[in-house]
Structure formats: structure tokens, C-alpha cells
Amino acid sequence: MAATLASDIEYLKSLRAVRERSQIVLGAARNGGLNNFVFDEGRMKETAEFVAGVISRDFGPDRYAEIPPHGRWEHFSIGGITRLENLVQKWQDSEVDDVEITRRLIDLFFVSVLLDAGAGDTWAFREPGGDNAYGRSEGIAVASLYMFTDGAFSSAAGGNKATVDGHALSKFTEDVFVHHFQISPQNPMVGVASRIELLKNFGKSLLSIPEIFGETGRPGLLVDFLLKDGNDEELNYEALWSILQRILLPAWPSNRPRINDQPIGDAWPLRVLQDKSGDSENPTAGIHPFHKLTQWLGYSLTVPFMKVLKLKWINIDKGTGLPEYRNGGLFVDMGVLKLKPEVLSKGLEASGQALPLFSSTGDVIVEWRALTVALLDELHKLINDVLAPQGVSLSLPQLLEAGSWKSGRELAAKYRPETRSSPILIDGDGTLF
């Protein structure tokens, strides 16, 4: 039994489990067996056409191949400023070699993505020397970039400050974060304390794996490890995934679920799975894993290897769609998913506003996230059918970048222009999504 439980826990950490369990929930949706939502599959065709239209608007008729995988890189260019490209060019002009440039980008992407959970509807970062202020993911990207180049994540004395190491992260303070992110009563951010805790735990985790991250716990040394593990042309995404789970599972907040005293990360009880499994003895049977922030990080980390080192990735298709409020909001705003009346009523009562509010780890949001993963796979097929006459076939990470996430954001701006919020409000600590 112990060996079986250990195997089941490992399964929950896998990308395969994310996709397979979401399909179980989709099956329940098709049979009217959900606890919180009603599924209107007839709305999927219109949703696919809408998203395909957004993609074609921005990349048609002949730029589809330029669509990058969904990742952090693009966020640094908010406002039409190629900040990351400019930084890379600066390093190249200083004769920094491509491997070290990739290390530095991996350093940056780790901290930037781990800080990139929902910031709330009001926070924004005003870029030094300019008049523009940026909120949400792009604002966090730009703020983290300035922190990085200022040396806020490095304990190195002198020389290049644009690095990250476990010693600096493990001693990270809220004062430093608040200063660099321009947080104030007039510019509040959701989940500040949780983000600080996550960075500090991440620093300790880096230091605990010197065989990969060295004695200083530098995230960028992942580059050397993967280059040694791969070949001259391609890297294995599953190898990257294994490392990310090893380093991040111990770093997540202590209130995350544990089974047999082992952390299982972004994985939560879901009633529809518990009902379907019929196995009350196995504590893993009713758990739905997502690992959203780890997946977002994984997709993001692939990009510097491709852009700078010109390497390809195999098995990246094992990754899933990302279960967060932009992708999930797309399906709600398009009418594919609708809260059941009694659930909606409770959510409105909890928020006291025009939009319903639910706990980020409660059954409503977990069911919504599970459906989002499965429906993104369905949307991927439908959109490639729409684009096939043009000879276009997108990968799932490309769909996430150019289609679903962007469409969800545009619908939020259309229907809720004052806040651009999700159609369902989420009460969380700022470390999930």
C-alpha cells in the first residue's frame, strides 16, 4: 500500500495527471454531472471562431510562424519598448557569451514568473524616467526587470549585479519588494507577504540542490545542467519539468495540501473527482493537480534557450493549457461555462458586488480550473481546424500566447472596462495565478 501511495503521489506531480484528470471533469460536464457549472458545448464553435479571429488579426496572413510559445519574454515589451532585447544587446556589446546571457535570462525569468500571480485591479508600476504605468502581468514583468538589473536579487559584491542567487533570495525582505514595486496605500498589491515567503523559500530550495544550482544557488546554472543532459540541437521538456517540480514543491506556501507529509503543490480536492473515483481509501483519488505557476515558468524558460542558443525542445506538448482567470474567463464570457444559479447567488453574497467571489482553493474555482484545462485542449483542436485552410497548425503554447489568454483579456476589457477583472472574482493569496 505504501508503495502504491508513493506512486500515486508522483502521478499527481506529473503533467499527464493534469490533463487526464481534467478530461474526467470534462466527461462529467458533458453528462451534466458538475457541481458548480453548466456546460454549453454548443458555444465552443463560436468561441473558436472568435479566438481564431484574434490570432488572424494579429498574425495573419503570413506571420503565424512568428507566434512564440506562451511565456514571460513578451511581457517585457509592454508599451512597444524592447527592454529585454536591448538588455541582451548591451550584454553582447560587452562580449558576454551566449551561454552566460542565457543564464542571466533564466535568473530573471525565475524570479519574474514566481512574482507573477494576480496583482489585483489597482496596482501599477510607473517606469522610471517615463510617464507610463503598467499593471497586472506586464507591470510585474517590468518592475522585476528593474529589480533584477539593480541587483536586488543578488548577493554578489561588485561586478555584474544582474544575477540571482539563493543567498540573496533567502534573506529577501518586504521593504525591498515594496520599494521596488512602488507599493503604497494608494497603489496596493494583492498577496505581498505570500510573494516574499515564496521567494525566500525558493532561495532556500536553490541552496539545497548544489549539484544543479551550485554553492551560490544560482537559478541560471540550470542552463549548464540541461546542456549537459541534452544534445547539440534539442532539450527535453520533461527533464526541465522534473527539475522544476523538485525545486518548487518544497517552496510553495505551507498551507498547500500535503499527502503522507509530502507537498503536492498546486493540487486540490475536487468534489466531482471524489464522486467519480469511488475510492475513499486513497487520499490522491479526489485531487486535481494543476501546477499552473510551474507550467507558466516552464513555458517561459524554454524561450531563452530557443532565442539565444537556437535550441529546440522535445516533449513540450506534454504541457497543458494554463488554468487561470484569463483563459477561464474566456469560457465564462463566451457562455461556454455558466455558474449554477444557487452557486452564483452564494458568490454574489460573498462579494457584495456585481460579480461573484469564491475562494481560490474551494470547489467552485477548482472545478472552473479543471474545466479550463480540458476546454483549452478542445479549443486547440477547433482553432487548428479553422486555420487549416491557410496551412496553419499552432502548438498549444502558441494558442495560449496569441489566442486564449489575449482573448480572455480583451473580453474582460469589453465587459468590465473599469476593472478589466475576471468574470468570477477569486479570493487568494497571490501565489497561485
- Given a cut of 80, whether residue 208 has pLDDT beyond it is yes
Nearest to 294 by CA among 430, 110, 429: 110
Supply the pLDDT for residue 157: 73
- Given a cut of 70, whether residue 203 has pLDDT beyond it is yes
Task: Please give the residue that has the higher pLDDT: either 118 or 395.
Answer: 395
What digits encode the pLDDT tens for the residues 102-126?
Answer: 999 999 999 999 998 767 778 999 9
Alpha carbon distance 433, 396 (integer Å)? 19
Confidence of residue 1 (pLDDT cuts 50, 70, 90): low
- Given a cut of 80, whether residue 431 has pLDDT beyond it is no
| % pLDDT > 70, the chain | 99
What digits encode the pLDDT tens for the residues 282-296?
Answer: 999 999 999 999 999
What digits encode the pLDDT tens for the residues 130-167?
Answer: 889 999 889 999 999 999 999 999 998 777 899 999 99
- Given a cut of 80, whether residue 127 has pLDDT beyond it is yes
Number of neighbouring beta carbons within 10 Å of residue 148 = 24
70 close to 322: Cβ distance less than 8 angstroms: yes
- Given a cut of 90, whether residue 82 has pLDDT beyond it is yes
Supply the pLDDT for residue 430: 66
What digits encode the pLDDT tens for the residues 306-323?
Answer: 999 999 999 999 999 999
Nearest to 132 by CA among 77, 79, 80: 79
Mapped onto helix, strand or coil, the DSSP state of residue 136 is helix
| % pLDDT > 90, the chain | 87
For helices 44-59 and 325-333, angle between their N-to-C axes, nearest 10 degrees: 120
Alpha carbon distance 179, 183 (integer Å)? 7
* Mean pLDDT for the stretch of residues 249-273: 94
Confidence of residue 7 (pLDDT cuts 50, 70, 90): very high
179 close to 192: Cβ distance less than 8 angstroms: no
170 close to 207: Cβ distance less than 8 angstroms: yes
Q: Taking all residues of the chain, what is their mean pLDDT, rounded to a whole number? A: 94
Give the phi and the psi of residue 126 in degrees, each rounded to 5: -90, 120
Residue type, 406: K
Please name the residue that has the C-alpha cell 478542445: 378
Residues in the chain: 433
Supply the pLDDT for residue 37: 98
- Given a cut of 60, whether residue 204 has pLDDT beyond it is yes
Residue type, 53: G
Supply the pLDDT for residue 2: 66
* Mean pLDDT for the stretch of residues 201-229: 96
pTM comes to 0.94
Give the phi and the psi of residue 269 in degrees, each rounded to 5: -60, 140
What digits encode the pLDDT tens for the residues 171-191?
Answer: 999 999 999 999 999 999 988
Q: What is the dihedral of CA 423, 425, 429, 433, to 10 degrees?
A: -10
- Given a cut of 80, whether residue 429 has pLDDT beyond it is no
Alpha carbon distance 282, 287 (integer Å)? 10
Please name the residue that has the C-alpha cell 503543490: 265
Contacts 24+ apart (CB under 8 A), 6-12: 6/260, 8/282, 8/284, 9/259, 9/260, 9/262, 9/264, 9/284, 11/284, 12/259, 12/264, 12/267, 12/284, 12/287, 12/289
- Estimate to the nearest angstrom the gap between the alpha carbon of 321 and the chain centroid: 9
Supply the pLDDT for residue 118: 67
